[in-house]
């Protein structure tokens, strides 16, 4: 449920409520003591005030609890997959917007959803960022800088407890090579301190696709995502790329088995629109570790398995997804999908190695 107002001068207010429950779950009630991705009894999801182009100037602001999303949502994305949602922020954004440039500068703290609390608390870290878009160019070009400061005493391997000061900067580009052929790219480099270790990590994504104008609006695309891993946990360098705050629900497989951390993802995508209201998408992924001595990082960014000797191989496995969306009239949308994962040598050599299946069905009713 949501409500918003905006006057002709761009000054506005918005509030959105959320009531998320789970029914017949196998998770115990205390499975998520610090925050839950599935349950959040009646709460405020967003509440903010904003003023765009204050009195006709290029300046503006947005303050309050809000989602933050840019471009393809790989660096900042709300992460809507799941009952509660992934990223919501208490933030102050100051913007500058003219015909050549749009820049947001902001300070924010991420919301931690407490299942039974009203007005949830925060994760114990701080984020400062600048995100900009260059306008009136043949292609879209974005640039970004993100600083994350975590003083809570993170676990940093053999060195015990420490603090994290991580800087991320990079760019995003999106355009057309030829008619009906699109390209996208993201590159990010990270430096700073992880306890006593020096951070030096990077991530990249490249994708190219072609849309067939007369064949059911079909599109075929190839994509490659890379995130560096730590080649030697004891050399004083932290080389594992941190996936920033991107929406994992869109990337690295629909089963959310992987993060943009110590990962190589080779992807082939095909989609068609048999009807104006129906779209069917199929993805195939081949996943590998970037560094065999680093961990397999799950969708929540936590290391789930690790072979410090690097003897278990690098192949994580393959995943095939097929899913579709159907819009009924203007306010009802159905989404359904089937996913299948086949483990690779790394998973087979480190524990349970059975195939995994995932089926989902959702109904969206828009008011």
Domain edge (last residue) among 121, 136, 151? 136
State how far the Cα of 266 lies from the Cα of 1, in Å rounded to an integer: 39
* CA atoms of 61 and 106, how far apart (whole Å): 9
Q: Are residues 258 and 121 in the same domain?
A: no
Same domain, 347 and 232: yes
CA angle at 266 for the pair 233 and 278, rounded to the nearest 5°: 135
Instruction: Please indicate, yes or no, whether residues 116 and 192 belong to a single structural domain of this protein.
Output: no
Contact present, 232 and 188 (Cβ < 8 Å): no
Same structural domain for residues 358 and 209?
yes
Q: Which residues pair with 192 in a beta bridge?
A: 166, 199
Mean pLDDT (whole number) for 319-327: 94
96 close to 132: Cβ distance less than 8 angstroms: no
Q: Does one domain contain both 100 and 31?
A: yes
Q: What share of the chain is helix, strand, coil (3-state, %, to 5)?
A: 5, 55, 40
Based on the domain organization, do 226 and 340 belong to the same domain? yes
Asked if residue 167 is part of any domain, the answer here is no
Last residue of a domain, one of 136, 158, 189: 136
Mark whether 128 and 254 lie in a shared domain. Answer: no
Please say if the pLDDT value at position 158 is more than 70: no
CA 88, CA 142: separation in Å to the nearest integer? 22
Tell me the pLDDT tens digit for each residue of 43-100. Answer: 788 899 999 999 999 999 999 999 999 999 999 988 776 677 778 899 999 999 999 9
Token look-up 């400062």 returns: 128
User: Do 279 and 332 belong to one domain?
Assistant: yes
Q: Which of 162, 58, 156, 155 is nearest to 104 (CA)?
A: 58
CA atoms within 13 A on the CB side of 281: 18
Q: Give the domain extent around 292.
A: 180-367
Average pLDDT of every residue of the chain: 88
- The answer on pLDDT for 37 being more than 70 is no
Q: Does any domain span residue 336?
A: yes
Whole-number Å distance between alpha carbons of 270 and 272: 7
- Structural domain total, the chain: 2
Q: Is residue 73 part of a domain?
A: yes
The stretches of the chain forming alpha helices (DSSP H) are 345-348
Which pTM does this prediction carry?
A: 0.90
Coil, helix or strand at residue 334: strand
How confident is residue 354, by pLDDT bands cut at 50, 70 and 90?
confident
Is residue 145, in this structure, part of any structural domain at all? no
Q: What is the pLDDT of residue 34?
A: 57
Nearest of 34, 77, 45 to residue 243 by alpha carbon? 77
Among residues 76, 104, 136, which one ends one of the domains?
A: 136
Residue 356 maps to a domain: yes
* Count of residues making up the chain: 367
Same domain as 210, residue 69: no
Give dist(CA 161, CA 141) in Å, integer: 39
What CA–CA distance (Å, rounded) separates 192 from 156?
A: 14
- CA geometry: angle 299, 300, 301, nearest 5 deg: 90
The answer to whether position 158 is within a domain reads no
What is the rounded radius of gyration, in angstroms, for the C-alpha atoms of the chain?
A: 21
Instruction: Answer yes or no: is 63 within a domain.
Output: yes
Report which of 128, 51, 134, 44 is spatially closest to residue 91, judged by C-alpha positions. Answer: 128
Report the CATH number that the domain containing residue 334 is assigned in CATH: 2.40.160.100
Q: How far apart are the first and last CA of the chain?
A: 8
- 92 and 187: one domain? no
Confidence class for position 12, pLDDT limits 50, 70, 90: very high
pLDDT, tens digit, 9 for 90 and up, residues 98-155: 999 999 999 999 988 877 777 778 888 999 999 999 999 999 999 999 999 987 766 6
Please answer whether residues 128 and 107 qualify as being in contact, where contact means their C-beta atoms are separated by less than 8 angstroms: yes
CA distance linking residue 86 with residue 42, whole number of Å: 17
Mean pLDDT for 314-321 is 96
Same domain? For 207 and 86 the reply is no
Dig out the tokens for 73 from the structure.
């949502």
Whether residue 215 has pLDDT greater than 90: no
Q: 117 and 211: one domain?
A: no
248, 268 Cβ separation under 8 angstroms:
no
In a domain, 192, yes or no: yes
């Amino acid at each position: 449920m949501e409500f918003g107002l905006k006057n002709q001068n761009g000054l506005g207010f918005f509030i959105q409520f959320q009531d998320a429950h789970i029914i017949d779950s196998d998770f115990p009630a205390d499975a998520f003591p610090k925050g839950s991705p599935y349950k959040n009894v009646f709460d405020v999801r967003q509440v903010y005030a904003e003023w765009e182009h204050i009195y006709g100037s290029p300046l503006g602001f947005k303050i309050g609890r809000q989602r933050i999303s840019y471009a393809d949502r790989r660096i900042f994305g709300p992460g809507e997959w799941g009952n509660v949602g992934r990223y919501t922020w208490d933030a102050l954004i100051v913007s500058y917007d003219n015909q050549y440039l749009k820049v947001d500068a902001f300070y924010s703290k991420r919301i931690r959803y407490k299942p039974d609390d009203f007005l949830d608390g925060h994760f114990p870290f701080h984020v400062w960022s600048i995100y900009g878009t260059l306008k009136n160019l043949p292609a879209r070009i974005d640039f970004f800088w993100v600083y994350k400061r975590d003083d809570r005493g993170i676990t940093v391997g053999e060195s015990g407890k420490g603090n994290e000061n991580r800087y991320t900067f990079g760019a995003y580009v999106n355009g057309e090579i030829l008619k009906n052929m699109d390209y996208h790219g993201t590159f990010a480099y990270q430096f700073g301190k992880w306890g006593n270790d020096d951070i030096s990590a990077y991530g990249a994504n490249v994708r190219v696709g072609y849309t067939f104008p007369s064949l059911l609006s079909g599109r075929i695309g190839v994509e490659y995502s890379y995130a560096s891993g730590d080649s030697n946990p004891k050399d004083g360098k932290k080389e594992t790329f941190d996936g920033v705050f991107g929406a994992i629900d869109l990337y690295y497989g629909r089963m959310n088995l992987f993060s943009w951390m110590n990962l190589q993802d080779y992807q082939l995508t095909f989609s068609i629109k048999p009807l104006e209201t129906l779209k069917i998408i199929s993805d195939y992924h081949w996943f590998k570790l970037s560094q065999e001595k680093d961990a397999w990082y799950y969708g929540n960014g936590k290391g789930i398995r690790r072979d410090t000797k690097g003897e278990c191989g690098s192949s994580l496995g393959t995943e095939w997804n097929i899913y579709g969306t159907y819009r009924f009239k203007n306010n009802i949308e159905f989404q359904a999908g089937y996913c299948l994962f086949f483990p690779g040598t790394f998973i087979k050599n480190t524990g349970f190695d059975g195939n995994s299946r995932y089926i989902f069905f959702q109904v969206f009713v828009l008011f």
